[in-house]
């Protein structure tokens, strides 16, 4: 009941809303997830190389040096697999038709030129037209930035840029609401230090038509509200990119303060290449309406190439939201707490069409969890593929599970590599409903005392072409058995056991190369490889 508590606290803005579009097309669950929309603030590089897993060190942005943190190195090659696209990022040098200047030593009676800068951002933004830039010089600004009817909208071809220079320091000062409130399309907010100073406000909010609006290259930190960034009120088309978001902490109520929270009625939101950590809730949460509203769920969310770690709850928490892609992220450092079980990624409530692919997940108590809490329909259209899930531990009372399917309809778990866990897969224990017709194929399990723990509620399960460690133990309704017995009981005729001989970055060995079954994903060589990495491309 996270939403209920958040709403009761009055920290989630929930204005009058127009209903969303319930008939929005849904992707074919068998197809690769859609590419993210182009982001004008950082267009895709055309080097032809796939971007690495995890955050990319885009030059001259706050994330440039973050991958050098201890234990935070991006995984080595091979990187993402054929058919999966994330956007490679590059720094850009835009040109502007006119500039306005704001300085702590300025005066709003000036003309906003470099010689006579304004004193307040509020003054400058009312002057700016499409294609122009507001340069905010270094210093501290004790004001709220409201981009609403008081400013012009940018256009797709000519955005309006609010450019911090020397990381100007925004602090809450007097007044209420988020430090930056975006309600206009095609505005770029770039290069700020947004310091919420422990107050119960969001750092940045997006609301209404914000198509093409971007929060980029900023640091957001030390808030005590619902999140660093939120989208709500039919927020459509916002991008949150290249930011460092950390230390959003609440110690009251449900204690949830997230890096980014996407609320019901949001559409087409992109969260890309951010470093988000040490929050009291999740790095990224897609909040469903359960318990606090009858609004339509968020529809269209891409969470890619982020580095998400060390929160009190989860890296990514997807509740009732539709059409979500979580890909190419590096996520780690989660342990059980009073309100969470150390799950790194959770997909639950009535989530629909959620693809979790090409992520690296490690150092948690549970890698990926589907189902559990729900009201109404089971999660459906969930695809978990080509993830590297490793070093999942029972430390601190954790379950030590790679992937757990608790309840859902038609979840597909294919081509994952799960290594160094207590139990690789837990399926169909039935809390909150059955795990209906799961598909579990082409996965490598390496170094797990229990390979699969199968409960009595996985009707229609299809299990095939997995590679288990030699001597692997399986559990069926609590009874231990060997592979042959497990295969006979589950109708699996093609899974094998043997050494997976995992190489660098979990490259598969001979028992896995070209030994998989065709699950409709692109592959190289004679047949698909088993596991998350396809060799020979």
Figure out which of the listed residues 97, 504, 525, 537 binds Ca ion, where binding follows CB under 5 A. 525
d(CA 341, CA 336): 4
256 and 281 Cβ atoms separated by less than 8 Å: yes
Please give the backbone phi and psi of residue 98, each rounded to the nearest 5 degrees, phi first. -165, 150
Tell me the closest approach of the beta carbon of residue 135 to Ca ion, in angstroms.
39
Q: Which residue is nearest to Ca ion (CB)?
A: 525
Distance, CA of 455 to CA of 82 (rounded, Å): 34
Region near Ca ion per CB under 5 A, out of 47-55, 81-89, 159-167, 274-282? 274-282
Choose between 288 and 455: whose C-beta lies nearer to Ca ion.
288
Q: How far is the CB of 310 from Ca ion (least distance, A)?
A: 14
CA distance 445 to 463: 13
Question: How far, in Å, CA of 373 to CA of 364, rounded?
Answer: 20
Q: Does 442 bind Ca ion (CB under 5 A)?
A: no
195 binds Ca ion (CB under 5 A): no
* 410 DSSP assignment: S
Residue 483 phi, psi dihedral angles, 5° rounding: -60, -45
Q: Which is nearer to Ca ion, 43 or 525 (CB)?
A: 525
Q: Quick one: which of 317, 357, 360, 453 contacts Ca ion (CB under 5 A)?
A: 317
C-beta of 258: minimal distance to Ca ion in Å?
8
Rounded Cα distance between 424 and 447, Å, is 9
Computed on alpha carbons and rounded to an integer, the radius of gyration of the chain in Å comes to: 24
Of the candidate spans 88-96, 168-176, 280-288, 351-359, the one that interacts with Ca ion by CB under 5 A turns out to be 280-288
Residue closer to Ca ion by CB (options 396, 525) is 525
Nearest to 74 by CA among 86, 60, 91: 86
Does 343 interact with Ca ion (rule: CB under 5 A)?
A: no
- Nearest distance from C-beta of residue 530 to Ca ion, angstroms: 9
Closer CB to Ca ion, residue 132 or residue 313? 313
Give the binding range for Ca ion (CB under 5 A) out of 130-138, 237-245, 312-320, 370-378.
312-320
How many residues form the binding site for Ca ion (CB under 5 A)? 8
Based on the shown chain and the rule CB under 5 A, indicate whether residue 314 belongs to the binding site for Ca ion: yes
Nearest to 106 by CA among 127, 132, 133, 137: 137
Which residue lies nearer to Ca ion by CB, 474 or 523?
523
Least distance in Å: CB of 282 to Ca ion? 4
Instruction: Between 195 and 317, name the residue whose CB sits nearer to Ca ion.
Output: 317
CA-to-CA dists, residue 479 to 423, 451, 456, 466, angstroms = 14, 13, 12, 21
Tokens representing 141 are 């600004």
- In the complex, minimum distance from the CB of residue 337 to Ca ion, in angstroms, rounded to a whole number: 10
Q: Which residues have C-beta within 8 Å of that of residue 291, sequence separation ≥ 6?
A: 1, 2, 3, 4, 7
Residue appearing with tokens 């929005």? 24
SS3 of 484, please?
helix
Beta strand 227-236 pairing with 98-102? unpaired
Closer to Ca ion by CB, 42 or 365: give it.
365
Binds Ca ion (CB under 5 A): choice among 275, 299, 304, 313: 313
CB of 19 to Ca ion, least distance (A): 26
* Cβ 313 to Ca ion shortest distance, Å: 4
Of 268 and 282, which CB lies nearer to Ca ion in the complex structure?
282
Contacting Ca ion within 455-514 (CB under 5 A): 514
In the bound state with Ca ion, the residue whose beta carbon lies nearer, of 240 and 345, is 345
From the list 136-144, 220-228, 276-284, 447-455, the region that binds Ca ion by CB under 5 A is 276-284
| Residue 166: strand, helix, or coil | coil
Alpha-carbon gap, residue 134 to 125, rounded angstroms? 7
Contacts of 223 (CB under 8 A, 6+ apart): 196, 198, 199, 200, 201, 202, 203, 247, 248, 249, 257
182 versus 384: smaller Cβ distance to Ca ion: 384
Return phi, psi of residue 454, to 5°: -105, 125
Minimum gap (Å) between residue 2 Cβ and Ca ion: 7
With CB under 5 A as the contact rule, which of the stretches 45-53, 111-119, 282-290, 379-387 interacts with Ca ion?
Answer: 282-290
Q: Which stretch binds Ca ion (CB under 5 A): 5-13, 324-332, 382-390, 523-531?
A: 523-531
In the complex with Ca ion, which residue's Cβ is closer, 499 or 525?
525
User: Taking CA 345 as the corner, what is the angle to CA 1 and CA 277, rounded to the nearest 5 degrees?
Assistant: 90
The stretch among 5-13, 121-129, 432-440, 520-528 that binds Ca ion (CB under 5 A) is 520-528
Q: Does 282 bind Ca ion (CB under 5 A)?
A: yes
Q: Which of 529, 530, 532, 533 binds Ca ion (CB under 5 A)?
A: 529
Rounded to whole angstroms, how far apart are CA atoms 508 and 66? 29
Cα 142 off chain centre by:
31
Residues lying near Ca ion in the complex (CB under 5 A): 282, 313-314, 317, 514, 523, 525, 529
């Amino acid at each position: 009941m996270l939403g209920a508590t958040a709403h009761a606290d009055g920290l989630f803005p929930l204005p009058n809303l127009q209903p969303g579009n319930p008939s929005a097309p849904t992707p074919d669950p068998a197809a690769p997830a859609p590419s993210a929309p182009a982001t004008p603030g950082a267009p895709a590089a055309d080097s032809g190389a796939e971007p690495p897993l995890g955050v990319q060190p885009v030059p001259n942005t706050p994330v440039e040096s973050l991958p050098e943190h201890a234990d935070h190195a991006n995984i080595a090659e091979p990187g993402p697999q054929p058919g999966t696209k994330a956007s490679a990022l590059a720094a850009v040098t835009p040109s502007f038709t006119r500039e306005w200047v704001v300085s702590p030593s300025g005066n709003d009676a000036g003309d906003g030129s470099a010689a006579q800068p304004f004193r307040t951002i509020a003054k400058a933004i009312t002057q700016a037209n499409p294609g122009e830039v507001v340069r905010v010089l270094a210093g501290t600004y004790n004001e709220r930035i409201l981009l609403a009817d008081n400013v012009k909208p940018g256009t797709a071809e000519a955005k309006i840029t609010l450019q911090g220079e020397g990381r100007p320091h925004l602090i809450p000062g007097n007044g209420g609401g988020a430090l930056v409130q975006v309600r206009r399309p095609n505005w770029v907010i770039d290069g700020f230090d947004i310091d919420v100073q422990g107050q119960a406000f969001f750092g940045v909010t997006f609301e209404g038509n914000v198509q093409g609006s971007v929060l980029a290259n900023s640091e957001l930190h030390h808030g005590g509200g619902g999140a660093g960034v939120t989208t709500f009120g039919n927020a459509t088309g916002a991008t949150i990119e290249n930011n460092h978001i950390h230390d959003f902490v609440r110690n009251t109520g449900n204690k949830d303060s997230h890096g980014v929270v996407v609320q019901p009625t949001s559409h087409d939101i992109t969260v890309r290449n951010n470093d988000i950590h040490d929050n009291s809730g999740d790095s990224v949460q897609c909040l469903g309406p359960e318990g606090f509203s009858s609004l339509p769920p968020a529809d269209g969310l891409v969470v890619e190439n982020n580095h998400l770690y060390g929160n009190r709850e989860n890296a990514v928490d997807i509740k009732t939201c539709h059409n979500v892609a979580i890909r190419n992220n590096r996520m780690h450092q989660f342990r059980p707490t009073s309100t969470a079980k150390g799950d790194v990624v959770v997909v639950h409530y009535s989530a629909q069409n959620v693809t979790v692919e090409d992520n690296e997940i490690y150092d948690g108590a549970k890698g990926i969890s589907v189902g559990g809490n729900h009201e109404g329909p089971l999660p459906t259209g969930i695809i978990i593929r080509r993830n590297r899930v490793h070093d999942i531990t029972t430390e601190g009372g954790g379950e030590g599970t790679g992937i757990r399917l608790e309840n859902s309809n038609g979840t597909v778990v294919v081509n994952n590599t799960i290594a160094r866990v207590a139990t690789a897969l837990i399926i169909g224990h039935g809390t909150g409903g059955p795990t209906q017709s799961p598909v579990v194929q082409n996965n490598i399990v390496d170094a797990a005392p229990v390979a699969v723990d199968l409960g009595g509620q996985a009707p229609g399960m299809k299990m095939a072409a997995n590679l288990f460690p030699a001597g692997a133990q399986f559990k069926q309704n609590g009874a231990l058995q060997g592979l042959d017995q497990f295969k006979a009981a589950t109708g699996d005729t093609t899974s094998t056991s043997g050494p997976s001989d995992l190489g660098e970055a979990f490259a598969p060995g001979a028992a896995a190369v070209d030994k998989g079954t065709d699950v409709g994903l692109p592959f190289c060589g004679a047949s698909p490889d088993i596991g998350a990495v396809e060799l020979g491309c």
